[in-house]
């Protein structure tokens, strides 16, 4: 192990405080997007056709502090060395995970972010937090950027476009070690879109045991039994 909890140390603590404060502006950002989203829905388009990565590039859509602390504790408990993240955004969740790897003594968070400006900002935020050496944020479509991964993967976070949760899980699954944890965000907010994902991990037929945690807007906690 490597020293005290990185989340309580500088510069990580100050960077997280700043990012969580900035993320509170998402309420206004979503309010400005509302007319476009409502008009698109009225024309029969799906939410994910309307709210494209380009249109959402200013939105943080982060994990909460409570979720971030759970990510940190889970990675520590697993003694994780390899973590994969779908949907890096501005890097808030990445910082929580990289902090755990730093405190575990080493490792890498492999993130994927499709929006170029977010990828750039996430990399800068990791640099500012002192954790850049524990993260590799890859720009592009996760179904391509996450094809090449080291094995075994100890923890997978799904927090990107909801219709890709299941395809990304199926892509990464062959590299998950027995006992690996998969965490998926926004289960309550996108119940319909994520129903196939939840049914897949909760069915007991696909190698997972899973439950929905009532944290934030729903955090699916799955353990890969193999």
In b/e form, how buried is each residue of 90-105, taking b as 16+ CB within 10 angstroms? bbbbbbbbbbbbbbbe
> Is the CATH number of domain 6-17+60-224 3.40.50.150?
yes
- Is residue 155 within 8 Å of 110, Cβ to Cβ? no
Burial (Cβ within 10 Å: 0-12, 13-18, ≥19) of residue 210: buried
Residue whose pair of structure tokens reads 């509302």 in the numeric block: 34
Average model confidence (pLDDT) across the chain: 92
pLDDT in tens, 183-226: 999 999 999 999 999 999 999 999 999 999 999 999 999 999 98
Helices vs. strands in the chain: H and E counts, helices first: 9, 7
Residue 30's pLDDT band (cuts 50, 70, 90): low
pLDDT in tens, 64-91: 999 999 999 999 999 999 999 999 999 9
Is pLDDT above 70 for 47? no
pLDDT, position 171: 98
């Amino acid at each position: 192990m490597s020293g005290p909890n990185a989340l309580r140390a500088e510069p990580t603590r100050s960077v997280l405080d700043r990012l969580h404060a900035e993320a509170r502006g998402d309420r206004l950002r979503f309010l400005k997007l509302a007319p476009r989203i409502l008009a698109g829905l009225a024309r029969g388009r799906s939410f994910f056709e309307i709210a494209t990565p380009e249109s959402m590039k200013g939105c943080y859509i982060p994990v909460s502090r409570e979720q971030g602390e759970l990510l940190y504790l889970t990675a520590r408990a697993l003694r994780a060395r390899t973590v994969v993240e779908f949907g890096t955004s501005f890097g808030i969740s990445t910082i929580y995970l990289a902090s755990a790897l730093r405190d575990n003594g080493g490792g890498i968070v492999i993130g994927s972010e499709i929006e170029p400006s977010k990828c750039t900002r996430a990399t800068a935020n990791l640099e500012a937090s002192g954790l850049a050496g524990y993260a590799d944020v890859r720009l592009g479509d996760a179904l391509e950027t996450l094809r090449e991964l080291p094995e075994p993967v100890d923890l997978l976070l799904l927090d990107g476009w909801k219709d890709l949760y299941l395809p990304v899980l199926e892509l990464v699954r062959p590299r998950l070690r027995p006992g690996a944890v998969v965490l998926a965000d926004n289960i309550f907010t996108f119940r319909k879109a994520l129903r196939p994902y939840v049914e897949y991990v909760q069915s007991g037929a696909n190698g997972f045991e899973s439950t929905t945690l009532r944290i934030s807007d729903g955090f699916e906690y799955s353990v890969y039994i193999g």
